[in-house]
Amino acid sequence: MGLNSSSPVLLAVAGHDPSYRFEAGLGWGAGVDADREAAGHFGVSCISVVTAWTEQEAGRVLEVGAVTPGIWLNEAVGLVRELRGELGALKFGLLPGAAAVEAALALVREARRLRPDLPVVLDPVLAASGGEVFLDAAGRRVLLESLLAEGLVLTPNRPEAASLMGLALDSDPMELVRALCQRMQTGSPRTQGLRGLVLKGGHGGEDPVRDHVVDGAGKLHVHEHRRKVGASLHGSGCRHASAVAAGLALGRSLPEAAAAAGDWLGELVR
């Protein structure tokens, strides 16, 4: 495809945020534009496939216009086949419903058929900051029972991890890590289950912020960065996950990619 012969390509499959803007070298907003921003910062080309066109106003999600899963799946499969050796990583963001999660599962299997060692990052976007639900109970069930068994790198924040595992929002991070790793270890020998976990810090009052990273060997790494009190960035989760995916596309280990992503997000927030 020849986008940039000197860098790998990240395929980002996620929703579109119409509130995204980029001014004076800084971006604000979520979705596929934030994915491209993150990948570009790390020198990785990015192609996007949109799963939903959202309508937002004053920080609230008014409507989610889900794209028919079969349509975006065909688009993504075509890109995976065309990119072939240039594809460095696959990243999922907003998957609006069980059918979208099943389409993501089909895409992962096709991509891994062409490249068995392809890094796949899943950022479980369960709800908007204002509380609007993106992924319902049926979708979460498919994600937990099928998609997580495909050998992915999962990048939830603490509320998302707690919600997925049915635990209290104020659960200790290590309790969340243990629960998620146990769930992800149920993969088949073909997929090898767990490829990695990045439990993103930042929610709550912790200072320093701690990201808990579990690599494919099951080893825990904790990355710390300073908290900027009162600061926030809409779309920080999208950027963080895509920065991790970009690092993996460049051949970095998960701990290295997660540390670089956390440092960059910390600077953006500050």
Enumerate domains of the chain plus CATH numbers: 9-269 (3.40.1190.20)
Q: Does the pTM exceed 0.85?
A: yes
pLDDT of res. 162? 94
pLDDT of res. 142? 95
Percentage of the chain beyond pLDDT 90 is 59
Instruction: Report the chain's mean pLDDT, rounded to a whole number.
Output: 86
Q: Which of 176, 129, 181 is nearest to 153 (CA)?
A: 181
For residues 171-201, one letter each, b for 16 or more C-beta atoms within 10 angstroms of the residue's C-beta and e for the rest, the string is eebeebbebbbebbeebeeebebbbbbbbbb
> Rounded mean pLDDT of 81-96?
94
Percentage of the chain beyond pLDDT 70 is 83
> Rounded mean pLDDT of 237-254?
95
Q: Which of 217, 101, 211, 111 is nearest to 148 (CA)?
A: 101
Amino acid letter, 125: V
State the virtual CA torsion across 132, 160, 260, 111 in degrees, nearest 10. Answer: -90
The answer, yes or no, to whether residue 2 has pLDDT greater than 80, is no
pLDDT of res. 186? 52
Q: What band does 199 get if pLDDT is binned at 50, 70 and 90?
A: very high
